[in-house]
Structure 1
């Protein structure tokens, strides 16, 4: 008689805010018996969510160490501020848990190395919350690259244009901060909300080179439309040991919404991946098509735990090292330029007030099209780029 193993015990640390998204992912898996949600942790009372009701018997905690001792989870989802990830991850690993760690996983290469060693010492694994890496559209794009449909790739770029109101920067003490209590936070567009755009480009570069691409130099222009410590608008150009450069052009101060596009240019054509919606257009396609089949990171982690040799992780910590290297370089960049006056349009009031950078989407699209920085396009509000060489 075959003995059926009980479903893995899962806990969420940081159950409010974006943690509610993770709870919605967990809810159907709990209901189907594929996992057992045993605990939720947050420093504030756990918020109700009709799409993710708290099942009976789930422990509610305000301290993650108390939860780890009492609930003994086998998988821990960590959805706390980025500067708290490393110490919480160490505690969860010491308790014997595997991790689903929100992005960015850590904020420096030193922390990345420390977490890598902690995982090895504990014999555990960490999946990083770059969920767009599970996109079937991304796989279709990289398959097309391997088949030579774009010819020789000459450039990889991304454009993402979002809006964030004043309330976004009042959501927590670390919002919009470069550091807090002496610790790096880096809550800017590149490191946090639009990090997926950068990581998708790195995934394309990885597919071309066969391994995670290591950045050797960056040029970045960073701007802000309100008195925060980090950028809400940026154009970043990255060069690697080998392969084409990557250019990321992003903003949280857009007049119009661009969910997020990755544009890959080759000698035989161009491909456009809209990564949040899994929509793809390859050379020769008449229309943009949606590619179904996105794989969830938590389900993939559970499958990997059951069959480590047969099911690789989608977003293991090691795959994100180039992204962390970019954050490491950005930490030394000067304060973003504050833009005001006629460059800005203000819409709404109170917490819903939004500050738009006039014409920014056109600037970002031109930057992506030409692989250029705003200062190279004679944009009136642009300033010279910060440049840095990276070790390695």
Structure 2
């Protein structure tokens, strides 16, 4: 463990693939002496890159348990497939480490509670990798909601239109899968690539509830006002995968506020990801990947620069917990996990095919696009409606379900 005055010892589990992004964040902090990168772990070969080197003295391992025993890190960054998060996290906590755990942290509320209990018992903390929560633009939007600039918030929605190739779904054994090795994997559009869009909506909703800027502050059945009480879900796919690449989800919170996500990985024109907040006094739009924000009275979108890096925030919190709260603690993601669990229990996605889908490219670079999908998703987000409610010809009847309520320390 770190001695007095020494920088915290950091290990990264999952050092290839998306792990390279974490290595690019870690590298300058290591060079500046703010942390010591003691280990990289991956079942694949770990290769150095110009902006992601393997510093001298950094151990390279294929087994995280061997690494924990050999290096005793203070912080473990976990960037592995979602269905592996919990066992690796529990091992790291037992070894005395704090966590930076990629999203989604876990795939059920039971696992969420298990992780929360382990953290509490060991006196450790976990930061969850929803990096867009560190956005200054989000902070400004939340402040505007709290200050009443939008009046009473009546709806929150998000729209995003991305593309993914056939190669994307061949990137790993868990890609496009509903489960793997007997555990949920759920590599769907709402849970993995566009999870940030859903989490941003929940963050804004929580701020609106905290400010009293919603219709009511208690659910009729006792559901907490910022917790999803009901879910309506339409799931679609354009490929022989087990999860959705296109989805429309509407969650109704305990306060009655609807939160709608209309997203696709089979899009036409690129829509980075917009969070739309509708209020009785105005409308706000946050393009969360680029931190462009439009508030009531603004002539158009404006960039609001600045993001607090989640690893730096975790290090600062470790140094002074009272003065520096975590931006994305595990507790903040409980409502998201409840939705993930509900999505996991939903029926298989409906196939959209034939003339409704356009194919471009070949081999691993092939892309499938649903005709007219962008207009449909934008209308859904604008009206707070599901695709079936808009009369989209290939839309199916939504799956409706109650969402499990938070209990204990979840």
Task: Compute the TM-score of the two structures, normalised by the length of structure 1.
Answer: 0.98
Quote the Cα distance in structure 1 between the aligned partners of 2:258 and 2:46.
44
Q: Does 1:208 align with 2:208?
A: yes
The answer as to 2:145 corresponding to 1:132 is no
Is the 2:156–2:276 contact (alpha carbons within 8 Å) kept by the matching residues of 1?
Answer: yes
SS at match of 2:149: coil
| CA distance, structure 2, for counterparts of residue 353 and residue 381 of structure 1 | 22
Q: Which residue of 2 aligns with 1:26?
A: 26
Matches within 5 A, 1:151-230: 151-210=151-210, 213-230=226-243
- C-alpha separation between the residues in 1 aligned to 2:47 and 2:357? 36
SS of structure 1 residue aligned to 2:263: strand
Distance 1:334 1:158 in 2: 23
Does residue 1:313 correspond to 2:365, yes or no? no
The size of the alignment, in residue pairs, is 390
Q: Tell me the distance in 2 between the aligned counterparts of 1:338 and 1:67.
A: 43
Does 2:273 match 1:260?
Answer: yes
- Change in CA separation of 1:347 and 1:129 when aligned onto 2, cut-off 3 Å: same
* Residues 202 and 212, structure 1, Cα contact 8 Å, conserved in 2: no
Alpha carbons 1:238, 1:247 under 8 Å: kept: yes
1:386 maps to 2:399 = yes
Are 1:16 and 1:42, in contact at CA under 8 Å, matched by a contact in 2? yes
Q: How far apart in 1 are the matches of 2:37 and 2:181?
A: 33
Q: Does 1:283 align with 2:296?
A: yes
Match of 1:370 in 2: 383
Q: Secondary structure at the match of 2:274?
A: strand
The answer to whether the 8 Å contact 1:103/1:192 transfers is yes
**What TM-score do you get using the length of structure 2 for normalisation?**
0.94
**Cα offset, 1:213, TM superposition:** 1.9
Match of 1:40 in 2: 40
Cα deviation, 1:117-151, whole Å, max 9, x if unaligned, reads 01011110000000000000000001011111111
Matched residues in 2 for 1:386 and 1:373: separation? 11
Contact 1:108 1:327 in 2 (8 A): yes
Report the Cα offset of residue 293 of structure 1: 2.0
1: CA distance between counterparts of 2:335 and 2:225? Answer: 7
Contact map agreement 2:154 2:278 (CA 8 A) in 1 = yes
Q: CA RMSD in A?
A: 1.1
Q: Is 1:91 matched with 2:91? A: yes
> How far apart, CA to CA, are the structure 2 residues paired with 1:263 and 1:220?
19
